[in-house]
Structure 1
Amino acid sequence: MARTQPSEGDRRRGSLSAPVGRGLVSSGQVCILGHAGPSRTASRPGGIIQLSGSQVTTGGEARSVGTKTQNRPGATAMAVGNINELPENILLELFTHIPARQLLLRCRPVCSLWRDLIDLVTLWKRKCLREGFITEDWDQPVADWKIFYFLRSLRRNLLHNPCAEEGFEFWSLDVNGGDEWKVEDLSKDQRKEFPNDQVKKYFVTSYYTCLKSQVVDLKAEGYWEELMDTTRPDIEVKDWFAARPDCGSKYQLCVQLLSSAHAPLGTFQPDPVTIQQKSDAKWREVSHTFSNYPPGVRYIWFQHGGVDTHYWAGWYGPRVTNSSIIIGPPLP
């Protein structure tokens, strides 16, 4: 049966009873209050949104009295029967201030007008620009701006405690040989050499193999199954390691994309890196990007470590820090 397209009147009529945030949309009425000044800010959900010299509130901030509303001395509001009577560009501007998940889960089902507006590319480009995900001169192609927005909003290092600031919290010590894993501080000279001045500590291995790992649960981190299976965004893995100048060492890394049953769907395992004694002690970066991997990825397993090659008591093996797993499009 062919679907009947709603008329303009039908699009602008509809139940507005779906709550957004904490009462952001509680009825079909909206109050527009006079406000001096070109303010253009948004409050938290449930508060007043100020737009281009007007305040718009739908959370019961103003008290309706007949056809006019008094919110405070000097401010008089005129009640509009239906929020959909506002111009569409105003509705779009309002939507840019509502959290994305609320837009899709709570606002989009309200009526066909809201659905059509929320599906517009313009809205998601505005949200990306407003939150700094793109710049005004952004010229890179984007296949789906809605997906792009979500991936950028989720973008962060998914490994917890990558720089040993919390000891071994979040890490599983799979192999703890020799004098075992240890956390040390970067010296002042080492901090000057390291490319990230925020890194102040590292993990160091011993004279028998030391390996530690961490499992990233993608759903727990906000990456729902359909997003991963349909979009399959790039997954970038990085790690930093260094040897001591007075002792040789061997570094190793393995990263796997895992299914819900923890079966491997993709693996990055470069050959172990052996650094000879009296070599430079500079920090080195290893990186890899997973692309076009099979659907079904639910976890990412990251393991690294190594051993010193002279079997000296103490902690003379490779040092590791600033590890990262980042999903999604690059920064502008």
Structure 2
Amino acid sequence: MSATEWRKKCEAEWSLQGAPMPDGLDWKSIYEAKPLGRNLLRNPAPHGLTKDTPPPEPELPEVPTNGPPRFQPDGDFTGWTTSTEILPYDTSGIPEGAVTCALGQYSWFSMEQVLDLKAEGLWEKLLDEFQPEIVIQDWYEETQLHVSIYELYVKLLGADKSTVISEHTVTPTEDLSTYSHTWKEVSHVFSSYGPGVRYVSFLHRLKNKFMGEFFPTLFTGSSVIVKPIKTSS
């Protein structure tokens, strides 16, 4: 197929009529990269779980192991940049002079990916003029671990990776009065974000607790999908 035929194939299959489709691009490589409609995140479910099945109930031993302390969950985090923040003990609810046998210690486990949209097959004129929707989705485990167990920070970045063109933050609080233990969805659609977007930074943090045993907060189904939908101006 000629370059023109590959360009027309991309335009037809992705319903990009009216989008800028400049000559001179390697349309065969763009078509094979399939940058539109697929999840650009690598390894979206490091715990091997799916949102279509309820989160597993924790299996507690009859006798607590009591250490050593753990602050990072099990999983294959290939493709993610990870870090751990161990939080100080919270003694705010303990009366002065009271004796405590044990306190739970919390930690944040952070996972980030920075996506290069051009390397994924998208082209500058499409991002700058057509501005296709960029759809974010994530699922985290609802638990009674703490009132704050999940945070999401997504940024659309310029070519220098430091200029923030648009961003979305989610910091929910949990209802500790009921126990449902389901997956909770977090989603957002970026549209009309303006020209210059070249990277997407996707970072979420999940809170874990150690108190004799390790109690993680799990996640699954993270996704960043660029859809062939022109956003309104």
Partner of 2:3: 103
Match of 2:137, SS state, is strand
Match of 1:226, SS state, is helix
Match of 2:215, SS state, is coil
Mapped to 1, the partners of 2:199 and 2:118 lie a distance apart of 8
Mapped to 1, the partners of 2:133 and 2:171 lie a distance apart of 23
Aligned ranges 1:293-312 → 2 under 5 Å: 293-308=193-208, 312=211
Mapped to 2, the partners of 1:124 and 1:269 lie a distance apart of 33
Contact 2:158 2:197 (8 Å CA) reproduced: yes
2:210 is the counterpart of 1:329:
no
Cα distance change, pair 279–319 in 1 and its aligned pair in 2 (3 A): same
Contact 1:173 1:213 (8 Å CA) reproduced: yes
Cα distance change, pair 124–222 in 1 and its aligned pair in 2 (3 A): closer
Partner of 1:156: 38
1:173 to 75, 82, 92: 82
Cα distance change, pair 124–218 in 1 and its aligned pair in 2 (3 A): closer
Structure 1 residue 146: Cα displacement: 7.6
Cα distance change, pair 271–221 in 1 and its aligned pair in 2 (3 A): same
| Runs of 4+ in structure 1 over 6 Å off | 149-152
Aligned ranges 1:167-246 → 2 under 5 Å: 167-177=76-86, 207-244=106-143
Q: Quick one: which amino acid aligns to residue 161 of structure 1?
A: N
Query: Greater relative contact order: 1 or 2 (C-alpha under 8 angstroms, separation 6 or more)?
Result: 2
Partner of 1:264: 164
Mapped to 1, the partners of 2:183 and 2:153 lie a distance apart of 19
Q: Who wins on radius of gyration, i.e. which is larger? A: 1
Match of 2:151, SS state, is strand
Partner of 2:182: 282
Structure 1 residue 227: Cα displacement: 1.9
Structure 1 residue 145: Cα displacement: 6.8
Alignment TM-score, normalising by the size of structure 2: 0.63
Structure 1 residue 255: Cα displacement: 0.3
Corresponding pairs, count: 174
Cα distance change, pair 217–210 in 1 and its aligned pair in 2 (3 A): same
Cα distance change, pair 236–304 in 1 and its aligned pair in 2 (3 A): same
Unaligned stretches of 5+ residues in structure 2: 22-26, 49-74, 88-104
Root mean square deviation of aligned Cα = 3.3
1:144 to 2, 12, 18: 18
Match of 1:322, SS state, is strand
Structure 1 residue 143: Cα displacement: 4.6
Contact 1:251 1:274 (8 Å CA) reproduced: no
Deviates more, 1:269-278 or 1:218-227: 269-278
Q: Quick one: which amino acid aligns to residue 103 of structure 1?
A: A
Deviates more, 1:256-265 or 1:149-158: 149-158
Contact 1:243 1:281 (8 Å CA) reproduced: yes
Mapped to 1, the partners of 2:212 and 2:168 lie a distance apart of 31
Mapped to 1, the partners of 2:19 and 2:183 lie a distance apart of 37
Percentage of matched positions with identical amino acids: 30
Mapped to 2, the partners of 1:227 and 1:258 lie a distance apart of 16
Mapped to 2, the partners of 1:226 and 1:291 lie a distance apart of 15
Mapped to 1, the partners of 2:10 and 2:206 lie a distance apart of 45
Match of 1:230, SS state, is helix
Contact 1:256 1:266 (8 Å CA) reproduced: yes
Greater fraction of residues in strand: 2
Structure 1 residue 223: Cα displacement: 0.9
Cα distance change, pair 314–261 in 1 and its aligned pair in 2 (3 A): farther
Contact 1:176 1:209 (8 Å CA) reproduced: yes
Match of 1:326, SS state, is strand
